[in-house]
Amino acid sequence: MSAGLTARRLVLGLLGCALVLAVAVGVSLLLGSVRVDPAEVWAALRDPSRRPGNLHYTIVIGQRLPRVLLGLLVGGGLGLCGASFQALLRNPLADPYTLGVASGSALGASLALAAKWSLQVGPFGGVQVAALLGGLAVTAVIWRIGVVRREFRVESLLLGGVTVALVTSSAIIVIRTLADPHFLVTLDRWLLGSLAAALPRDSWSLLPFLLVGGLPLLALGPAFNQLALGEELAHGRGINAGRVQVWTFLAASLVTAGTVSVAGPIGFVGLIVPHAVRSIWGPDHRLLLPGSALVAGGFLLLCDTLARTVVAPTEMPVGVVTAVIGGPVFLLLLWRRR
């Protein structure tokens, strides 16, 4: 461990972030439009004979638990990608949506919904497949823009991502204009991001993306620390800056496309959570990356709980709640950076 991050501080930091996640899981399981008695749920878990007809057990295990698991994975993926993109661009105001990958996934899903595309590929439905293809296509386009004369340029990557995001957003507006009016409600709710229709298969379908893309990002923590000091200094310490940038972009884009495919575009999670973790525990990415994933999972679960309870018995998309919270926080960050 470096002088700035001792083993004790690393353990305490991760325990603190895990505590936030544990509290959020408990709150999300027990709170909602229907009050749940924890004692009845615990009794049903211990005694299988009490499960049939136990309403509270059915609500918690059958309905809320799949939603909590999906929210944990989606939030964790967005938080990890946000911290990684901020390290890649060396800008604390970057997030998974800055580079346009999420917008590409949203465009693919919008096309599938408008065209009533029905397709099943393993655990993926038609909308998920279209969202993944849209995210991967946009990733390829931005990659082509970001590589100038066989050299990875962060500035070109950022400009290309912002431009592609604007183009895909305009295309979504065109699709909404031409789509069947009966599908506009479904399309709009998906574009706002939601965990309402969470099923166990959604978590299983997202898990491979988190493993393939998330584990390499966690392993790049020491390299991110060196890049924060400058590419030349990092190169002198044996860090291949170009290779780190390439892997970061590809891995984070893969995770972002996966999260959008199962939950829709949920903004601001990958922006404000890494900044909050950085403000408390410092900029060392060995703690920042896993800490952001843990806290972001808890943050999204708390936002989803608000979405389920504020206007109960109906609910609002969780993306609305994250936008209401994240918008003012983003403006505050911009004001502080002045």
pLDDT of 220 reads 92
Look-up: residue for tokens 């950076």?
337
Q: Which domains does the chain have, with CATH numbers?
A: 7-337 (1.10.3470.10)
Q: pLDDT class for 150, splitting at 50, 70, 90? A: low
Cβ atoms of 94 and 160 within 8 Å: the answer is: no
pLDDT of residue 298: 95
Highest mean pLDDT among 171-185, 245-259, 280-294: 280-294
Take residue 304 and report the two structure tokens written for it. Answer: 């989803």
What value does the mean pLDDT take over residues 40-54? 74
pLDDT for res 130: 85
pLDDT digits (tens, 9 = 90+) for 325-336: 888 887 887 777
The overall average pLDDT reported for the chain is: 84
Greater confidence (49 vs 27) lies with 27
pLDDT tens-place string over residues 235-267: 778 788 888 888 898 899 889 988 988 888 898
b/e burial code for range 302-316 (CB count within 10 A of at least 16 → b): bbbbbbbeeeeeebb
Residue 274 has pLDDT above 90, yes or no: yes
pLDDT at 98 over 60: yes
Mean pLDDT, range 58-86, rounded to an integer: 91
Average pLDDT of span 84-105 = 83
Q: Average of pLDDT values for 113-118?
A: 76
Query: Per residue in 187-243, pLDDT tens?
Result: 887 888 888 878 888 888 889 889 999 999 999 999 999 888 877 787 778 788 888
